[in-house]
Structures are given as structure tokens and as C-alpha cells.
Amino acid sequence: MRPAPALEDPRGDPRIPPLAVEDLQVWYGDLQALSDVTFEVQPGKVLALIGETGSGKSTAALAAARLLPPKSRIEGHIFLDGVDITTMTREEVRVLRPRLGFVSQDAMAALNPVLSVGTQVAEMFEVHLGSSKSEALQQAIQILRKVQIPDPPAVVKLYPHQLSGGMRQRVMIAIALALGPRLLIADEPTTGLDVSVQAEILRLAIALRDESGAGVLWITHDMGVVAELADAVAVMYAGRIVEDGPAEVLFDVPRHPYTEALLRTLYDLRTGSRGERLYQIAGQPPSLQSPIPGCPFHPRCPRAKELCEQMEPSLEAMGGSRAACHFPLGTEVT
Amino acid sequence: MDDAGEPIISFRGVTKHFGARVAVEDASFDLLEGMTLGLVGESGSGKSTCVRLAVGLERPTEGPILWRGAPYRHSRRRLKAIRRQIGMVFQDPYDSLDPRVPIGKIVAEPLRIHHVRSGDVVEQARATLAAVGLPDAPLDSYPARYSGGGRQRIAIARALVLEPELLLCDEPTASLDVSVQAQIVNLLLELKTRSRISTVFVSHDLDLVHRVADHTVVMYAGRFVEVGPTDQIRGHPRHPYTLALLSAVPGDHPQRRKLGGAPWPQVSEDVDRTGCVFVARCPGVQDVCRTTRPPLEEVSAGSRVACFFPLEGEPPEAVRPDSFPASAQPE
């Protein structure tokens, strides 16, 4: 194996963001999945990427972890812990793996069905820390305890199908955290889980973030999860970031009509009466196959004017956040 | 809604074992014509088993299931006749639609299975697709052309094409985007105002259940722990587990976070069924809870709770004993 690229270990240096993505573009064949995506994850903070299916949020997560399928094409820069990993080879990225933990939505698919939980968690320590088999197993038990798995010495002997969905997701988180990463990327880890299990995973994520000081990139389509977890938010639509900023600012003063629509959906769900129709964002989510000129949200936007059909707005700073909208909310002259 | 009719389907002390595991224990309810019953609980609580029992995919270990008052007999012919009256919608519209079959055929399939010859099959498929909000969908198009929401509409059309009396929805929105969830829930609400169809809506999302369900059953470890009018269950939960479920719903603003604090104790899947099944997690557990099974008893009009120490809340406002029909009430 090649030695690690020559660089100072910046672990713990608060000046270096665990993850910085600059002007990222991703294509799958002819389809552009990401356009000009730029964001940073700060140490000890959670950045939530929120969007619908096809918004590019998972592509951004996979790109940041260099896990995109081989057929994809990528431009721009991804800095993991200050190191540009955009054009690194697989082997070079592998050396940096310990700094990055990744939790995917489908734990059942991510875990190997024919290996015991203990073997899979212990492998991290054997491969990356050179621990002996018995040492690694002890380390595995320790990390499983940390993610609040009851009776870890018994659980290490089980196979993934013998665990509940919530337990499997905990094992995934244990694997992601095993080597004390600087960055945790979680791609919709609670989608499809029960609310009570989701609540436990969110509590766990908060506790681990506070304890480890790692930066977290959390992908979700649920504004409620964002409200609970996020320090900062980036709202994605049609492969772009259409609004970003501190979570409190976005919830208090959304600027982009799409952000506002997402928030209305959430408030309506929490406060509406029985039998009442749910607030519904008009129209259909955009399709990568047929990109449209102008602002990608204009066909669904109640504020759209002619300009929006012709010119794509760029992200502009306004009062503590940034939004890509020609006619942002809360800026009207009164 | 206000003139709910006869019970469509009733469980009377229904129990289902899978080997040594108790999936459903002593479940009783009536679902009245035109009403929607919400079934909530975490995975493994027995919700889906209840649905499978209702449609005859599983046979109860004990206790009868009644269709319009007559017990199911699990003969092929009887079940087929009952199933003609039951439409089913599943969680994942990517799994439940065959990608190689055009949607017109998918929707018309139940007509063929049940040899419905009355009228034009093609017309019926078209009309049903229109009724679920896909009036212009070409019958020869394939599921791949549709997004998750479109596919779930197609699945709902298939469930409705025989004009069933009962619609069973098992987590119909769990794998959909939030914006698409709203479309599907609104579609179910429309169906309810347009027809007398009865619906069972299984979900772990209490906010969604609250929108559509007149009455709600909360299940834990195979038992009904709280049953009552949905507004009351959401507004004044009496069982500690119901309260826990409600408190697990994320807040709606970073300044109104709900999920701080210590995590719940994790419990093993083998629940001791001697007493209350919730003892391992219950913050108010007493000795009696471990030794005696709490019966499902009426604590306020129409609301039943299986707990020796039900939570005290303010009395539910504007709920009179006669203000809602007695559907979903255990015997």
C-alpha cells in the first residue's frame, strides 16, 4: 500500500473545515445532476442538505465521499480535512478513509449479510489500525456500546438480518465512527424508520457530534429532522443550492419560495386539523432529463414572473443567509 | 361521516402466533362503513400482521374475524369473495408494480382475476386512473415513466378498480417525499368524501394518521395499548407509550426542539408478556405492571387504555359520548 499523501494531520484544527465542496458539478452521462454546488461543514456542527428526490442531495453526499459510480463525471473541488480529494485515485482516498464516516439509508444493503456484526465492525480496526483479531473484537464491542446497542458481546455474534432496522442503522453508525472520523456523512439514515427509532438515532447523532467534535453532513427530505438537528442548512432543488444559511435564520426568514413551501408543509403537518387537506407544493418535482431555462423552480413558484423563465438567479447574500431568487421573500419595498 | 353505518370488518379477540412469537394478542375492534381507522406503532408492533389477517393472508391463531358480521371461513372461495371487497395499497410503489406490465393492465388486473365482465375493462381502468388524479395517463405506458407519487396513485387505482368496501393502506407514504406524501394523503381524504369506503391506514407517522383517521389504535408489542378518537389520542394521550410516540415527532423550529435529553432504554425483542408489555420502557412503572396484564378499559368517552396508571390530562374538550360513532372500540 502506498504511504499516506504527505500532509500534516490537521485533525482537531478548528480552522480547517472537515469538508469543503467548491463549485461541484456532477454528470451522469449527459444528465447534469449537480450544478455549482458549494458548501462547508464546520467541526462540531451539522450541515443539513434538504431536498426532494432528484434534487441532487444524495449525489452531493456520494461525491463528497468519493463514492459516485464510475460512469459519473465530476468537476470542481472536494476538500476532506483540507486535502483536495477530487482527483485522487481509489487507493489514495482509501488512506484517508479513517477521517470520513459514511452512513447510508439502506443499512441492510450496506452490511454484508453473511458476516457477523462483530466481524464487520472489527474489520475497520484490523484494516486501518492493524489491530489483532481479538483486540479488534474488543474495540468493536466498545464502539457498539457507544452507539447504545444493548449487550454488545452478544450482538457481535449476530448477523444483520437478526437485527431490527434501528439496530442495523446503529451498527452502520458504529462502523462510520469506529476510527474517530473528522467528518460523518449521513445519507437519509432515518428515512423509513419509525418515528421513535428515528428520534433515538437523532439523539445519538447529537450526542456523538458534541462528544467527538466531528463535522456532520446530514441528508434528508424532512424539515422536521432539519429543525431538530441542523446548525446550518442548504436547500437543494434541481441539482443546485437554492438557499443556505444558519438553521434559525432559514426557519425564521426563508427567502426562497421553495424553502418557504417546505416550511409550510411542515407547519401544516404539525398543526392542521383532522380531515383538512395537507398543504401541497403545486406541480411536480423537476426532472434531470428535461432541464428548463430560467429558475428551475419557476413552474411551481407562486411568485414567478417573466424574468424567472428567462434567467437563472444566482445565490445572493441577504440578511444572514443566501438565496437564488429574483424575487426573494421579505425584501419587498413597502 | 356523521352517519357511520354497519361494521364492515370486526376482530374479536384475535391472536396470531408465529411459532413462539406473539405477533398480535387479543385484538378487538369494529371498523364501520365510511370510517377510517389509523393503526400506529413501531415496526414489529403487529400493525402489518393485523392488515394481513384482515385480508386473509394470515389465519388467526385464535379469535374470529368477521366480515359484515359473518366469520371468515378460510376456504379459497370465501376468501376470494371477501378479497374482492378489499383493496390493498403497500408501502413501496417501486416494489408493488410489475415494471414489465403497462399501467392499464396493472389497474385492470383485479377485474380479470375476479372475472368482472360488466362494462368495458379498458374504460373502467381509465376512469379509475382519472379518479386518482391521473386522467391523462396513457394506458400503454409503463410504471418506469412515473415518479414515486405517480406510482402510488397507480397502485391506489388498482386497489380501487373493483370498487371495494374496504381499503387497506400499509404505510402508503413511508417511502415518498414529503411533498408527495401530501398528495397521497389528500387523495385518500378526497376518496373518503366521495365514497362510503372504509379505510385502514397503517403508519408510524402520527401527524399523517391524525389527518385521515377518525379513530386510532396504538399498538405495542402486539397489543392494543390505546384506542379512541384520533383527536383525543393526539391531544390527550393516556398511555405512556402513546405519549412517547408523540414526543418522538420532531419539532418544527430549531428553537422548539423536542429531542434533547437521554435516549430511550433499548430493549430486547423478547418482551415478557406476563404483565404490561411496555414495562421495560415505561417511566411510571409499578410492581403491579410486571405481574398483571392491564386490561383495555374505558378511561373517557370512547377512549380505552391498557394501563393501570393512565396519564391524567385535562378532559378532552367538546367530546360527548354520542358525538362520534363507536367504531374501532374493542369489545
Could you tell me if residue B92 is inside a domain? no
Residue range B142-166: mean pLDDT, rounded? 92
**pLDDT score of B254 more than 70:** yes
Tell me how many domains chain B contains.
1
Q: What is the DSSP string of B112-167?
A: HHTT--SS-HHHHHHHHHHHTT-TT--TT--GGGS-HHHHHHHHHHHHHTT--SEE
Residue range A313-328: mean pLDDT, rounded? 96
Whole-number percent of chain B with pLDDT over 90 = 58
**pLDDT score of A195 more than 80:** yes
Say which residue the cell 464516516 belongs to. A101
Say whether the ipTM exceeds 0.90: no
- Show the beta-strand stretches assigned E in chain B: 7-18, 21-32, 36-40, 65-67, 70-71, 86-89, 166-170, 198-202, 215-220, 223-229, 297-300, 303-305
Residue range A184-212: mean pLDDT, rounded? 86
Is pLDDT larger for residue A9 or for residue A46?
A: A46
Q: What is the pLDDT of residue A190?
A: 86
Chain B contact probe: residue of A52, A53, A144, A196 with most B CBs at under 10 A: A196
Number of H helices, E strands in chain B: 10, 12
Could you tell me if residue B297 is inside a domain? yes
CB-nearest partner of A247 from B43, B254, B269: B254
Name the β-bridge partners of A79: A20, A84
pLDDT band at B262 (very low <50, low <70, confident <90, very high): low
Say which residue the cell 458549494 belongs to. A38
Single out the residue of A263, A126, A264, A104 nearest to residue A186, CA to CA.
Answer: A104
Chain A contacts in chain B segment 49-88 (CB below 8 A): none
Chain A contact probe: residue of B176, B178, B219, B324 with most A CBs at under 10 A: B178
CATH number of the domain within which B239 lies: 3.40.50.300
A228 and B42 within 8 Å at the Cβ level: the answer is: no
Q: What is the pLDDT of residue B152?
A: 92
3-state secondary structure of B316: coil
Q: What is the distance in angstroms between the Cα of B120 and the nearest Cα belonging to chain A?
A: 31
Q: What is the pLDDT of residue A310?
A: 96
Measured CA to CA in angstroms, residue B78 lies from B81, B82, B83 at distances of: 5, 6, 9
Please list every residue in chain B whose beta carbon sits closer than 8 Å to the beta carbon of residue A301: none
Task: Find the residue in A nearest to B40 (Cα).
Answer: A194
CB under 8 Å to B171, separation ≥6 — which residues?
Answer: B90, B91, B202, B203, B204
A165 and B43 within 8 Å at the Cβ level: the answer is: yes
- Amino acid present at A130: G
**Neighbour tally for B309: CB within 10 Å:** 17
- List, for residues A252-301, the tens digit of each pLDDT value: 999 999 999 999 999 999 999 999 999 998 888 888 888 899 999 999 99
- List, for residues B273-300, the tens digit of each pLDDT value: 999 999 988 888 999 999 999 999 999 8
pLDDT band at A94 (very low <50, low <70, confident <90, very high): confident
pLDDT band at B42 (very low <50, low <70, confident <90, very high): confident
Residue range B170-187: mean pLDDT, rounded? 87
Could you tell me if residue B301 is inside a domain? yes
| Chain A touched by B144 (CB under 8 Å) | no
- List, for residues A231-251, the tens digit of each pLDDT value: 999 999 999 999 999 999 999
Chain B contact probe: residue of A195, A221, A267 with most B CBs at under 10 A: A195
**pLDDT score of A193 more than 90:** no
Say which residue the cell 358480521 belongs to. B69
Could you tell me if residue B235 is inside a domain? yes
**Neighbour tally for A98: CB within 10 Å:** 18
Could you tell me if residue B239 is inside a domain? yes
Residue range B86-107: mean pLDDT, rounded? 90
Residue-range definition of the domain harbouring residue B286 = 1-75+199-251+265-331
Could you tell me if residue B174 is inside a domain? no
Which superfamily is assigned to A19-114+159-272+279-323 in CATH?
Answer: P-loop containing nucleotide triphosphate hydrolases (3.40.50.300)
**pLDDT score of B17 more than 90:** yes
pLDDT band at A204 (very low <50, low <70, confident <90, very high): confident
Q: What is the pLDDT of residue A312?
A: 96
**pLDDT score of A7 more than 60:** no
**pLDDT score of B322 more than 60:** no
Whole-number percent of chain A with pLDDT over 90 = 67
CB-nearest partner of A227 from B254, B260, B266: B254
| Chain A touched by B113 (CB under 8 Å) | no
Is pLDDT larger for residue B180 or for residue B54?
A: B54
- List, for residues A216-236, the tens digit of each pLDDT value: 999 999 999 999 999 999 999
What is the rounded distance in angstroms from the CA atom of residue B208 to the CA atom of residue B197?
19
Residue range B20-30: mean pLDDT, rounded? 94
- Amino acid present at A300: R
Return the top range by mean pLDDT from A193-197, B72-76, B219-223, B258-262. Answer: B219-223
Could you tell me if residue B10 is inside a domain? yes
| Chain A touched by B174 (CB under 8 Å) | yes
**pLDDT score of B330 more than 60:** no
Strands A232-237 and A46-50: parallel
Task: Find the residue in A nearest to B171 (Cα).
Answer: A192
| Chain A touched by B145 (CB under 8 Å) | no
**pLDDT score of A326 more than 50:** yes
**pLDDT score of A127 more than 70:** yes
Q: What is the pLDDT of residue A165?
A: 81
Q: What is the pLDDT of residue B319?
A: 29
**Neighbour tally for A128: CB within 10 Å:** 14
Contact B129, B137 (CB under 8 A): yes
Residue range A14-42: mean pLDDT, rounded? 94
Q: What is the distance in angstroms between the Cα of A160 and the nearest Cα belonging to chain B?
A: 15
pTM above 0.95, yes or no: no
Could you tell me if residue B310 is inside a domain? yes
Residue range B22-26: mean pLDDT, rounded? 95
CB under 8 Å to A44, separation ≥6 — which residues?
Answer: A209, A210, A213, A214, A215
**pLDDT score of A303 more than 80:** yes
Say which residue the cell 444566482 belongs to. A314
Domain boundaries, chain A: 19-114+159-272+279-323
Task: Find the residue in A nearest to B193 (Cα).
Answer: A275
Q: What is the pLDDT of residue A1?
A: 43
What is the rounded distance in angstroms from the CA atom of residue B8 to the CA atom of residue B35?
10
